Amino acid sequence: RKKVTTAKNQTAAPSVLGTMRSHVEYVSGPDPLKVLDMLSAMPEETIEKIMKKTHEQAAATAFSNGSRAGLIRRFNKDRERFAQFERERQISGMHSLATTFSMDIKPQMSCSAGGGETAPILADELELSTTHRGRVLLGRVAEGDAFLNGSSSAFLLEDICGNMVEVAVYNLAQSTPEAACLLPMGKGMAIFEPFCKVRQDGTYGVRVDHPAELTAWEAPAKAEEWKSLGNRFVRDSRGVQGALLCYRSALEALSERETMALLLSNASECQLRLGANWKAARFAAAATALDTGNPKAWLRLAKGLKDTGAAEGASRRALRLADGQHADLPLLKTQLSQTLGSVPERGATATWEEAKWCLQPASVTEWEGVLFGEEQCKDNQTEGGWQHLRQQGGRQFAAGQFSEASQCYLKALAFFDQDLNRASILFSNMAAARLLESSSSKAAFSESPSDIEGLIESVVSALLDPLNAKAWMRQCRFLERLGKRPAAITKLEQVTEATRCKHFPYAETSRASSLLSSVRAELSQLQERQGHTQLSKPLSSTSTEQQLRDRLGKTPQAADEGVEDLDQYIARVEAMDFRHKMAVSKGLGKGKGKAGTEMGAILAQAWLGPLSKRKCPEFHTEYPKQRGWPRGLDAEFARKILYSAYLDCKLHPWHVEGLMRSGMFKFGRDAVIKRWHGTAPLRVIAERGLNVRPGDVVDARHFQGISKKYDARIRSSFANNPNRQETMFFGTTHVAVGFNDLGSLLGAHFRPAGEPELAGRPLRFVGLEMSEFSVAKASVVAELLGSKKCPISHVLQVRYSSGWSRCALKSFRSACRVVLAQLESEDSKKAGALRLSNMVVAAYLRHWLAVEPIPAEAARRRWFGNAHLQNRNVFGAVGSLRRQGDRLAMLSYLLTGELGDAVEVGSLCMWSVPEGSPPLEAELALNALPAEVFLEEASASPQLDLVALFCGRVTRDMQRVRWLRQSGDLTIQLYWAVLRPLGLSADGDAVAAAVAALRPYTFSWSNVIDYFELRQFHALARHCSQNGNAVHYAYSMNWTSEVFGTCIADLMPGFPSISLPDPEGTDGANASLGMKADNKGLSLQDQMQLKAVNEILDMALGPVAAELAKESGMDNLFAVPFFDTPLNMTSWWLCQEYHEQWLDHFFQQADISTMSRCAPTATLSRSNRGLTRGRKSMAMQCPFSRACTSVYMSWTYDPNLRLQVVISE
């Protein structure tokens, strides 16, 4: 589609005055189907010519995109062509036609063009189809001035690293050649929040649509200016290379850098002559850092390290860094080989061998003279300046007075004390930049080249300025990363001892006091972490990674066994989508297609129905354009994941609907097993002779060895299903079994108990959980909720976010210490079924106190990787969100897992756990709230997005619990304990007796009922309620696997949901279950089933669903029906029909007459012999909910208890 405008050109030359200029604006891209139709009508020779030319252009484009030379060549060719065109137009007075493509323009800037709050970006860091929010591209106009390119001005921009990119500027005040010349070659430019795109000719470039985005920029010249620019690069971890280049440029801009290196090198030679080899090595190391092209300094470093075992590594570093620095390499290599007795090899990258010297001890005497205070500098000023001192040192050296010569050289350095300080800061900043380069894949300590370089830079920084506290701290960070924490502790102990020594030359200065304070604090933390590390042990002999593979059924060879990878999947779905478009174009289903059969006609009609015509939001392009990719993610991989999710949204609804309506829908073996949570229900169905009807309960829990069991090989940060509001009473005890993340407590309704004797007492919340991880984390969260010092925002991040602020980390560790002290106290170690002490729980706490968190960028990569591996379908849920703000906020969360502001490090709970811990489950914090709550919050605050609504609601809930804790109205006790069926184990029976002794007033069972045989569960629950007055709350997520008819495949012809295909394609599996294959066509019964299936689809996907969504307000947030497979949509509707049957079955299993057989040790009393049902409900549909079909219930076994009050709440 295009818009055409024509206007007189008022700025043209007199010779062409009155010529017309037309402007064509393309507002959408070409239709590929029309392009194919056009090509199909051409002769073969013409098509062959077009394809050949297209391949040639593609090759030229690839060369242009892939090389600097190609980019320059194409740019100059375009300049020539447009210049020739302009000359011909002016001579002939021809009509001028300009074109722009506005369907792919950049969104408005999110920040002002002042640049102070933006982090620079390099040209080679630009991501395609992405707006780089909060970034600025800095560089100069290169390879000729800008020129007028149609309706835009184009120029090549070269950044500070020499990378080039073409820039097109639109909407200039004057779109003329004269206006383009305002950008001459060499002019510095800044492009704020650059938008990089693939242009119409296939080349890459930056598009600037608003003049405010492009401003003049003056490149740094002085050291301080380069340092300031480097500091701006460090604001974004992806700017590490730019930061390092800026800091090196700042170092080179120091006017006396080489002079300082020369003096330090000379002092090093003096120390060698005195036999002080280690002191000589330190002076030489500082000299080589200041001037890597100084061969004498490298040689002296090797000599000084000769007896330490570090000389060979230093020599390899010398040959690598001195190359290209005007050093005489052959001579240097010869001298080094003479010193070492062997020919050193040149290293490719930094290794630990190069940094061995950094571990050598430091002493006060080695600091003397390297840095002078102001008074010492005044005393050392001599007539003739530093040159005089250098000459004097040379004479003393020649006379063999090496000590005096060394002092002269060091005194000469006093004249450059400011430059020494600047150099120290620059090296320290380089080390800080490298701290951002941590790899997310490190399972243990590794020797990365970046960490080696950072260690050396931080050591040199401390050599040049021993009072630079940050340099010492960064040394320790790198040593800890390299697995040498004891060495870091030793180093800080030496610094502490040296700064307290009366001979220390700067003992009375404020900087020395500040250094001592920083070192003591860091030393204390290192010692604490080391102590906890020594006590930590692996939780299992099976690694966490192997446990994850076992649980998912993955093997390293999976890729070689025909498993479809992401690129193959995208290609397949694209082909299906394209065929669908072709069908629409050719009129399939209107008599023009090849339907052939009645089923085919139904299929074609569905594939051209309402679902196929809906337009799904293009969130895969919308997000990077509006927000840019989060730091740390692989943008190309993230783009593929979102694109595949978008294709699913476009394909699944109409494609699966057609298969279902036509009766052609099939279930694979894995789908059948997933539907029934195993094969046990299929055995029950086979025993009944396949005589099952919709609503029949298929309870297979009695099968020995194949009943459902809780998978302990998972680690959940928060509940995967929202808790309904449960009523808890002050003055009573509430027992929460399987409390996981304290969701039942935070979402509860609190009220006074009815009994007068309970008035004024607190609510006692007692949690039992079999996951040691959940106990450890929830205990810390509970401690944070009771703290008056910890901001509630810290609790939000600790509980839900994949990344934390440094302040939240500090609060978490403080709470860890308190909880660990409670675990290790004498009271907690007393014998009893319920006790705080647990070795594994303590192991988690110690580990969190012992390790440093991974960087935020690494946490984002791990979160996204886990989401792709275990929860990939959730990305498609974004397509069902109506509001753009919700889609953008939801994708930000799904890509990073982060909530709250100022995320700086990864969550210790998610990413830093003891080896052998269970692997992380598919995580989604928003599952903690039901859809009804989101609707309620959106109605009250329609301006907020879904993620902000979630944070606001859970923050208020946590604040409410905090008030209760701090006012003394609530106590929280959490235990690791496992409740088992009565009579199976003495430990299990002891836990049940201990729970009963608490005299619980209310129980929360979460979905524990899914993992018990129901008669055994009721026996246990009655036993725990023997003291009466107990109300029970529970929900089931797995009940649908026990009711026939809750999946639409149960109702389809051929019953695909109970037909278990054999892995080899035979009917062996079905035969073993008593099932027979039937390959006949549709019978009358099949046709009736198909009619019922279509009625269900009409209800779940048609006007009825839309009307229900409108009545509930759900259509304000979600597109209904969702852009999801109809399998999920229809299942929710079927569950509304049949959940009552399962509830009846659940309560029938509570028959008291069966207790003596299934649980002979259960205690019956007058207060637990009855059964009264309470409230029941089902979840509302939500596109990103893990289980929309959960059923919630409440009940009591006390025959004297009335539930009306509870039900009304």
Model confidence at 1142, pLDDT cuts 50, 70, 90, reads very high
Q: Is the pLDDT of residue 570 over 70?
A: yes
d(CA 618, CA 164): 30
Q: What are the helix and strand counts (H, E) for the chain? A: 47, 23
Interval 651-669 mean pLDDT: 85
Q: How far is CA 897 from the centre of its chain?
A: 5
Do the Cβ atoms of 171 and 209 come closer than 8 Å?
yes
Reported as a single tens digit per residue, the pLDDT across 95-113 is: 555 555 555 677 776 665 5
What does the angle CA 675 – CA 680 – CA 682 come to, to the nearest 5 degrees? Answer: 65
Greatest mean pLDDT range, 451-465, 543-557, 820-834, 872-886: 872-886
Residue 631 tokens, joined: 């730091």
Lowest mean pLDDT among 325-329, 387-391, 1020-1024: 325-329
**How is residue 1030 annotated by DSSP?**
-
- pLDDT higher than 90, residue 889: yes
pLDDT tens sequence across 763-812? 999 999 989 999 999 999 999 999 999 999 999 999 999 999 999 999 99
Q: What are the percentages of helix, strand and coil residues in the chain, rounded to 5?
A: 55, 10, 35
Contact 156, 183 (CB under 8 A): no
Distance CA 359, CA 766 (A): 51
Q: Are 620 and 639 in contact (CB under 8 A)?
A: yes
Report the residue count for the chain: 1209
Q: What is the pLDDT of residues 944-989, one digit of tens each?
A: 999 999 999 999 999 999 999 999 999 999 999 989 999 888 888 9
The whole-number average pLDDT for the span 1052-1057 is 84
Task: Indicate the DSSP class of residue 1087.
Answer: H
Measuring CA to CA, how many Å separate 454 from each of 41, 301, 482?
64, 19, 11
Closest CA to 1178 of 1134, 1122, 1117: 1134
User: Is the separation of the CB atoms in 290 and 261 below 8 Å?
Assistant: yes
Question: Does the pLDDT at position 10 exceed 50?
Answer: no
18 pLDDT above the threshold of 70? no
Q: What is the mean pLDDT of the chain?
A: 81
Answer yes or no: are the C-beta atoms of 882 and 920 closer than 8 Å.
no
- Token couple for 679: 């094969």
- Residue 557's pLDDT band, with cuts at 50, 70 and 90, is very low
Please give the pLDDT value at position 923: 87
Q: 3-state secondary structure string, 554-582?
A: CCCCHHHCCCCCHHHHHHHHHHHHHHHHH
Per the CB < 8 A criterion, the answer to whether 642 and 891 are in contact is yes
Residue 1101 CA to residue 658 CA, distance in Å, equals 12
Residue 581 C-beta-side C-alpha neighbours within 13 Å: 14
Phi and psi, residue 25, nearest 5°: -115, 120
Ranking 26-30, 347-351, 666-670 by mean pLDDT, the lowest is 26-30
Task: Tell me what pLDDT residue 1158 has.
Answer: 81
Point out which residues pair with 431 in neighbouring strands.
Answer: none
Between 58-62, 421-425, 521-525, 1058-1062, the lowest mean confidence (pLDDT) is in 58-62
- For the ranges 142-156, 578-592, 888-902, the maximum mean pLDDT occurs at 888-902
Residue 1063 to residue 1078: CA distance in whole angstroms:
18
Q: What percent of the chain has pLDDT over 70?
A: 79
Predicted local distance difference test score (pLDDT) of residue 345: 67
Distance CA 105, CA 128 (A): 13
SS3 1032: strand
In terms of phi and psi (left: phi > 0; alpha: psi -120 to 50; beta: otherwise), the region of 328 is: beta
- Asked if residue 717 lies in contact with residue 863, where contact means CB atoms within 8 angstroms, the answer is no
